[in-house]
Amino acid sequence: MSALVLIHGAWHGAWCWRRVLPGLRAAGHGAHAVTLTGVGERAHLLRPDLRLRDHIADVLGLIDAEELGDDLVLVGHSYGGLVMTGVADALLARGLKPRHLVYVDAVTPHPGESWSSQHAPETVRARLEAAAQRPDGAMPPPDAAVFGLDGADRDWVNRRQTPQPAGVYQDRLDFDAARIATLPRTFIDCTAPALPTIAVMRERVRREPGWQVLELATGHDPMISAPEALVALLLDCTR
């Protein structure tokens, strides 16, 4: 059986996978959700100098502590796709080869790109200006309606979201693209509604070789709006 490590996106935490973990574990897999430093239940660790390398280290620390080197499936949501790519590159450098990388409506970087690299200039400017107005220098969370959520789900996510460390927004990731390309990679495209900031990634994975693309007719937070469907797709990636 596989061990799945679930890496959340911006403003979220391990809490967002709550509806997904039971299904993965019921199928016999190990499932581990990590919270990145500065958000979620680790929001008290928010500081201006947090960087992408710290979030990569968070995930590597979980993998090391749980001794998950064998039969490992990495799952990254949104910003978590950037973190996951850095984690996979570090594991490959150690001689460990993850079984599968699953990008859930996520950033699929090229070497030297950041989370913000493919965002519209007005989006980058608005996020950085919002962060600059806060004492903690963090990016305030958007209303969860932009993720296609409404009703109780929207309220639940809005209550739990926390400001995102702004230092990770423009940090560029250097990695060995040829090495990453040796791994099976799946992109789960959440299409209803489609989040505009992921548009470049949707086009990229359909244009470049080596990608399996699966569509899910739900919004950007499928672990909340369509957990059963997401579990089914993740289980397919363990086979």
Q: How many C-beta atoms lie closer than 10 Å to residue 216's C-beta?
A: 19
For 10, phi then psi, to 5°, come to -65, 145
Q: What is the largest CA-CA distance in the chain?
A: 47
Residue 47 belongs to a domain with what CATH number?
A: 3.40.50.1820
pLDDT at 64: 97
How many CA atoms lie less than 13 Å away from 116 in the CB half-sphere?
Answer: 17
DSSP 170: S
Number of domains making up the chain: 1
Tell me which of 2, 78, 114, 225 is the catalytic residue. Answer: 78
pLDDT in tens, 141-189: 999 999 999 999 999 999 999 999 999 999 999 999 999 999 999 999 9
pLDDT at 69: 79
pLDDT of 214 above 90: yes
Average pLDDT estimate for 85-94 = 97
Tell me the sheet residues that pair with 6: 33, 75
pLDDT of 121 above 80: yes
pLDDT at 239: 87
Domain assignment of residue 203, given as a range: 3-236
Q: What is the residue-averaged pLDDT of the chain?
A: 97
Categorize the per-residue pLDDT at 59 as very low, low, confident or very high, splitting at 50, 70 and 90.
very high
CA distance 1 to 34: 20
Give the strand pairing for 72-77 and 30-34: unpaired
Q: The pTM is what? A: 0.97
Nearest of 2, 5, 6 to residue 28 by alpha carbon:
2
Quote the percentage of the chain above a pLDDT of 70: 100
Active site residue 114: no
CA distance 11 to 135: 17
